[in-house]
Chain A
């Protein structure tokens, strides 16, 4: 019973490097989300995809890009990492009805940018 799977779980980057966080869900959900979690800031939405083929910006999209590869997968890319992007990243998904239904979260990806 995998649910939402994120990879990698941990990553250390140098400033300016690029990387992609992968997320896959096996619940046939339409909507997928990327959040970042920072101390004292709670969870802030980076990007979301309400359905396959669509993506929209959240609160803090600068420095990120996303791809909804298919219904199962939603990736988050950092083109040129900055220390301000050091954070824990969570992918989540929800079924029909969007966030008024339950959000299911992955276990998180801890990213450190030096």
Chain B
């Protein structure tokens, strides 16, 4: 079945630093890809998604591009803020369900 591998954390950055969180996937065909974010004490919420190869998803300054040649969907942000501290999950759509990665905790200090 479909699976996702994402970099382990925590990722610790200073405010205004550049962020990359790596995500690679294994899948049959070209499924939709997602990034979800979980803020402390809350459930997950959709951050961005891409539905086909070369699509770029973007939201709140975060971006990720669906790369079929490298089977990757890396999350990037040019300048992180303290409020971006959260756990980020990469996910791939499977048959009738989503498969999540293990999550990457981001800690941003002032």
Residues of chain A touching chain B, judged by Cβ–Cβ distance below 8 Å, are 4, 31, 33, 35, 40-45, 48, 50, 56, 58, 90, 92, 98-100, 102-108
Contacts and interface: CB of A to CB of B under 8 A. Distances in A.
Given A31-B96, A48-B96, A50-B96, A42 B89 contact: yes
B69 interface: no
B102 A41 contact: yes
Interface of B: 31-32, 36, 41-46, 49, 51, 89, 93-94, 96-103
Contact of A107 (B42, B94, B100): B42
B45 A105 contact: yes
From B31, B42, B94, B98, name the one whose CB has the most chain A CB atoms within 10 angstroms. B98
Which 9 pairs, one residue from A and one from B, show the smallest C-beta to C-beta distance? A105-B43, A42-B102, A99-B98, A43-B100, A100-B32, A105-B44, A102-B46, A100-B93, A42-B100
A100 B108 CA distance: 30
A85 to B, nearest CB: 19
A99 B46 contact: no
25 contacts: A31-B96, A40-B102, A42-B89, A42-B101, A44-B100, A45-B98, A45-B99, A50-B96, A58-B97, A90-B43, A90-B44, A92-B43, A98-B93, A99-B32, A99-B94, A99-B97, A100-B32, A100-B93, A102-B49, A103-B44, A103-B46, A105-B43, A106-B43, A107-B41, A108-B42
